[in-house]
Structure 1
């Protein structure tokens, strides 16, 4: 790929970033403005034009998933040699390499979690701490270490920071001191210690610093608003007296101050680097104008900061819907109903998310979605690539690739090959009934099958070896494919993600802002958290709150103060409770229209009868529908079941609908398919 070709398709601001090939450069990138596209094209343009050597570039991110995405995009742009790592991964790599030379002896063992060591430290201090208290104290120790506070400094740091300690200040300081003592005695190293020790090695050993700085001459740091003091120390150590640095971030998405992160490093960049090039990215390609307008309204009320006013680039969409409920049960029930409606209209379940302030809020939505028959995925649960069925599937796919089991020609061949291999692991076109282990296993395999379809759509020439390589890259980066279910996640966990439809739930004062946000800085961070939630939505956005916790409680709550003046005066009234009760009752077993027996199997519910009951099937119509489906499948290069499943075609052939309204009542015919195929199907029925 030629250097100039890399610049094609970039908007003027993204192009300005790409062409600023030498640092210092500061990119202020609003939500949905294509920051990853801008910085990857900047690296590619600099490398392909000969300004930098790819192997001399270190791109630093905050998650292995983001690092994997950077590497993948750079490979597509013809620059595969760039190192993209998290701060911790880069530090560990350097520390491991130089350890025998500058320190020697047995290297320390890296601890993944502090909880166990904190528990031992608490016992040594004769303190009894529960699981939640241990977790909170571990977080407090982490904050102290990233902000460079020692145990003896902890009490003074709390007094000046306005931070609320999870336990008695003296007790936390004692546990912190004992934690450090036990860690040294057991030759253990936590993540913060890893960064600190790497910086110390570079500072104290000039020859090591020279070797690292010779290797990495150009730096790119993503999400710079989330850098904490310890990470900034390591970055400065890597740089030395050079300034070939490009930082990218959005001050409006600073939501991790409680971990020690500070947007000051981003906002003060030009003070630290006079003469730096500053580019603002404000063209929002993710969200509709209606969503962008609300996001601007929320962040526009912020006190201080550096608000980036987003400019929507997408066509108009529906207005955000504000809904007030009597209680949390009603809110969860109706949110599940609205998610079900979107799915019926053709929005994939994996493109819908319900976001809340704290994880404890998920329980009501899990129950409501299960009652509504809507599959869901809890973000932050077990790692996808560590699931037994996924490990087995990857082994099978790897073996098939080595055996040359790949199809010959196009993307359809890849899809069929992957589905065939997965069938050996238990995958089928029809999901199992219920929501137990069998369903979870099927959904994992279905996510792999969907990933193959996505890859084939992006590159019809891709084969099984390329697919296996993609899986291995994703596994290393813990970049899981989207599972087929509505995502349930906290607002913090949702950062960096996006969906077609987002429901922001529980937006009451005391929850957002959270009750313990008291200082002006803490309240503004809560506002930014709402802004992050809003900007996750591409098209559909719902915002809701309830006036009480449980049915019958007094209605004392009020909507979040961050919504003042933005709801258009009044919220959409929720459906009456009686109506919701009837709707839920209707979710019981559907009776067979022939014998009246309750229908439990999905295919039977779709047909409206038991499979062995007499049917009024029009055989000629079914044949015509299948021939039409095969033609569409071939023309669009998609599996036949993606057009309509066999069960849906059989239901159409039995009912022979005469209008779009009648066709829409058949399960499996959502709005998207009705718009795309409805008239043709009706024509076949009429013939």
Structure 2
């Protein structure tokens, strides 16, 4: 058997070699036998799977473990600007095993920025505004990403982007199908013959009960790091998807939801139009965007609170390095002085890893070698053209909120006239489509799938008027 396998796999090539664990090394050696026909590629600074048994020493000690190995050091970077590489490199410091500094082959760009906010809601709104500012010709929504350390950070950012009518998607949601608790939930859903609304109410009660236990625990700051916390994060995503289905299918049953959920989660990670990605640090590995917003750079998140050993803290440094180097052109780092966990508001401190970032960013700014951020130059040009007493530029979040409220007030009034639910007059998805697209003509209105022909015929003129005058509607 061994001879057959070695004949079948005669030339072995291993990518991401820094993520090799002991079991994988044994398999690799069994395939190799006494042959030296092995080529590997890896980056010790991107070793971030210690929790899965990965040992970067298989890469850093490869000359000892595989005598006769020829090592070729790749020191050229073609993704990120010099400013981003210098800032990201500061996170690694002079730790043993750190690779040599990369040589950038991109022109200068803006110095990465670090912004602190009063609350996590303020941080999310700030990210939405920055995403809006960086969107424009030649830079679509899909050229931007928001990176987070834990799944628990996603909900507040999603709400802010939704309020600002910024299209977005959560990458990696398909991992829910592999979650043991979600698999059990899906089996339970398949057996239920009751309205989905009832099932979701029960699920909300279960989530609330788990959250209450976590909040009573000694360390409530990072519930996502416990088994119960991970279950809450997973079930909250299921709950969100269930509510999405109820918007379009108010009479949906629990047993229908299971099949729909499986199909939805399998498709979640695929490209679906121009949208900002929301991604965890781990899931972002191997990806890149022009503009990256790294959120929640606070003690307890980065490094994560359970990273108590030197090895664990070193891995947290490498994980942040991976997150920062996903950016090609623009890098924004943010944190919040207060964050909500369940019903509790917790005071936060900036991540200790922000210190080196700030120092390098200050040096880069003082050196004056950076290129201005194009969005900042555009804002300066607009300000120069405006008269001194010109009103400030509209806030995209506030503007979207005003239009959303106007549409909701109108549909509530129409619903009272016919004694129907507001969503019968205009669904939540239709409201969001109107806020996002802001049609100015009947043809543009007809292009919105969520606004049906009956709604367009009956209310099209009024809807266009509301969109045109959101503040006064």
What TM-score range do you get, normalising by the shorter chain? 0.5 to 0.7
TM-aligned CA deviation for residue 557 of structure 1 = 2.5
| Residue in structure 2 matching 1:306, options 77, 98, 110 | 98
- Give the structure 2 partner of residue 420 of structure 1: none
Matches within 5 A, 1:405-484: 480-481=270-271, 483-484=273-274
Is 2:46 the counterpart of 1:266?
Answer: no
Is 2:109 the counterpart of 1:296?
Answer: no
- Give the structure 2 partner of residue 238 of structure 1: 31
How far, CA to CA, are the matches of 2:64 and 2:435 in structure 1?
Answer: 68
How far, CA to CA, are the matches of 2:290 and 2:103 in structure 1?
Answer: 19
TM-aligned CA deviation for residue 569 of structure 1 = 8.8
Contact 2:119 2:338 in 1 (8 A): yes
- Runs of at least 5 residues in structure 2 that lack an aligned partner in the other structure: 177-242, 249-265, 366-391, 405-409, 412-429, 444-467, 469-473
> SS of the residue aligned with 1:249?
coil
> SS of the residue aligned with 1:315?
coil
| Residue in structure 1 matching 2:71, options 274, 278, 303 | 278
> SS of the residue aligned with 2:64?
helix
1:399-418 superposed Cα distances (whole Å, 9 cap, x missing partner): xxxxxxxxxxxxxxxxxxxx
Contact 1:324 1:545 in 2 (8 A): yes
In structure 2, relative to structure 1, the CA distance for the partners of 1:605 and 1:527 (3 Å cut) is closer
| Residue in structure 1 matching 2:119, options 324, 327, 332 | 327
Contact 1:604 1:611 in 2 (8 A): no
Is 2:160 the counterpart of 1:347?
Answer: no
TM-aligned CA deviation for residue 565 of structure 1 = 3.4
How far, CA to CA, are the matches of 1:438 and 1:537 in structure 2?
Answer: 37
How far, CA to CA, are the matches of 1:262 and 1:348 in structure 2?
Answer: 38
| Larger CA Rg, structure 1 vs 2 | 1
How far, CA to CA, are the matches of 2:65 and 2:435 in structure 1?
Answer: 68
Contact 2:335 2:350 in 1 (8 A): yes
- Runs of at least 5 residues in structure 1 that lack an aligned partner in the other structure: 1-207, 385-434, 441-475, 573-578, 592-596, 613-665, 667-687
Contact 2:338 2:348 in 1 (8 A): yes
Contact 2:87 2:361 in 1 (8 A): no
TM-aligned CA deviation for residue 215 of structure 1 = 2.0
> SS of the residue aligned with 1:539?
strand
- Give the structure 1 partner of residue 349 of structure 2: 558
Higher relative contact order (CA 8 A, sep 6+): 2
TM-aligned CA deviation for residue 273 of structure 1 = 2.0
Contact 1:296 1:309 in 2 (8 A): yes
> SS of the residue aligned with 2:111?
coil
TM-aligned CA deviation for residue 222 of structure 1 = 0.4
1:434-479 superposed Cα distances (whole Å, 9 cap, x missing partner): x967999xxxxxxxxxxxxxxxxxxxxxxxxxxxxxxxxxxx9x99
Matched residue pairs, number? Answer: 308
- Give the structure 2 partner of residue 487 of structure 1: 277
> SS of the residue aligned with 1:237?
helix
TM-aligned CA deviation for residue 344 of structure 1 = 3.6
Is 2:399 the counterpart of 1:586?
Answer: yes
> SS of the residue aligned with 2:110?
coil
1:159-202 superposed Cα distances (whole Å, 9 cap, x missing partner): xxxxxxxxxxxxxxxxxxxxxxxxxxxxxxxxxxxxxxxxxxxx
TM-aligned CA deviation for residue 586 of structure 1 = 2.5
In structure 2, relative to structure 1, the CA distance for the partners of 1:271 and 1:609 (3 Å cut) is closer
In structure 2, relative to structure 1, the CA distance for the partners of 1:274 and 1:339 (3 Å cut) is same
Contact 1:219 1:245 in 2 (8 A): yes
How far, CA to CA, are the matches of 1:605 and 1:223 in structure 2?
Answer: 40
TM-score by length of 1: 0.41
- Give the structure 1 partner of residue 168 of structure 2: 376
How far, CA to CA, are the matches of 1:545 and 1:380 in structure 2?
Answer: 23
- Give the structure 1 partner of residue 19 of structure 2: 226
| Residue in structure 2 matching 1:316, options 94, 99, 108 | 108
In structure 2, relative to structure 1, the CA distance for the partners of 1:601 and 1:369 (3 Å cut) is closer
Is 2:326 the counterpart of 1:536?
Answer: yes
> SS of the residue aligned with 2:41?
strand
In structure 2, relative to structure 1, the CA distance for the partners of 1:604 and 1:249 (3 Å cut) is closer
| Residue in structure 1 matching 2:358, options 549, 554, 567 | 567
How far, CA to CA, are the matches of 1:297 and 1:481 in structure 2?
Answer: 33
Deviates more, 1:483-492 or 1:358-367: 483-492
| Residue in structure 2 matching 1:513, options 303, 316, 330 | 303
In structure 2, relative to structure 1, the CA distance for the partners of 1:315 and 1:221 (3 Å cut) is same
Stretches of 4+ moved more than 3 A in 1? 435-440, 478-483, 553-556, 568-572, 579-585, 588-591, 597-612
Matches within 5 A, 1:179-190: none
Contact 1:284 1:313 in 2 (8 A): yes
How far, CA to CA, are the matches of 2:290 and 2:360 in structure 1?
Answer: 26
Contact 2:164 2:401 in 1 (8 A): no
> SS of the residue aligned with 1:561?
coil
Matches within 5 A, 1:632-671: none
How far, CA to CA, are the matches of 1:610 and 1:601 in structure 2?
Answer: 17
Is 2:169 the counterpart of 1:356?
Answer: no
TM-aligned CA deviation for residue 549 of structure 1 = 1.1
| Residue in structure 1 matching 2:336, options 515, 535, 546 | 546
How far, CA to CA, are the matches of 2:41 and 2:247 in structure 1?
Answer: 41
> SS of the residue aligned with 1:340?
helix
TM-score by length of 2: 0.58
Q: Say what the alpha-carbon RMSD is for the aligned residues.
A: 3.8
How far, CA to CA, are the matches of 1:261 and 1:368 in structure 2?
Answer: 36
In structure 2, relative to structure 1, the CA distance for the partners of 1:282 and 1:240 (3 Å cut) is same
> SS of the residue aligned with 1:530?
helix
How far, CA to CA, are the matches of 2:436 and 2:150 in structure 1?
Answer: 37
